[in-house]
A and B are shown apart, each in its own frame.
Chain A
Amino acid sequence: MKFFCLEDFKVEFEKLISKKAYSTLEQDLINYFFGKSAQELCSGTRLNNSDKTPYIKKRLKGSGGYRFYFLLILKDESLYFMFSHPKIGPMGGINITDESKAYLYKKILRCIKTNDLYKLENLNRKIIFRKVKKVKS
């Protein structure tokens, strides 16, 4: 599996893991996502009625845990993180609106087309973000 993300995801993720309340987030992400096949990651709430490119909202660690929004492109074995948020703690909040879900969906399509993405790597159980070379749209 290859993992990518929007810049919004990277910014939010780095902000979260710097807080003590969310110190397990990085390991939770690695434990759940890394080392699984694309098919195994087809779990959660599918938002877009697509078998080939499911847009998924995944609840991690139950109602008080985290929510991850990501897109899977099964033929490429690629996963694109779009957004994540905790449900509790100092940065916890209610789920994102349908407007935001629709906005992120359009944004990921645009960013995939222009390569405006970061690649995620698991280096000794630490997430490393590397900017993907952008192409002109």
Chain B
Amino acid sequence: MQPEDNKERLGFENYWRRDVSDIRDQVLSIWKDHGGPTGNDATARLNQIVWVVKNSGGSVVGLSTAYKVYIKQLRNHLFATRLLLVPQYRIPGLTSKLFVETRDFLESIHSGDEQEQAIGVITLVENPRMKEYRNEAVWPASGMVYIGNSQEGHHIRVYYFKDARIAP
């Protein structure tokens, strides 16, 4: 069944801090085939999975990951997020939906952190096509705001959690 077919139902399953043994091999395979991490990096990133997108057959077709990182430019901790959808599932709107689900989930858990509480979500746009075509200053669906470039010229976008405060 083609993903363009409206009959296909895609499911989102949350794996944050959960056992990933049932999807481990599929995720590693996706990363291997589509430029994701390999080796120890891949093993480490398995622990950062937030959402997994499964097709109607139960196969993994995309996922999001997040880890907390101190951002020097903002002098605060944020969740750095990454998304990957296998090419045949790069359907209009699905990337945004996966991002929004990830963002909202991280927002729902961030207040539980007693130390180094993240104030939002940050993402680095490395894909040249994304940089060229998704150049809205504020991405409409996700509210991600462009706040500059990395040293490598990648776009930095940020979304702050509700009521987040910065260091003075």
Q: Do A and B come from one complex?
A: no
Interface residues of A (CB under 8 A from B): none
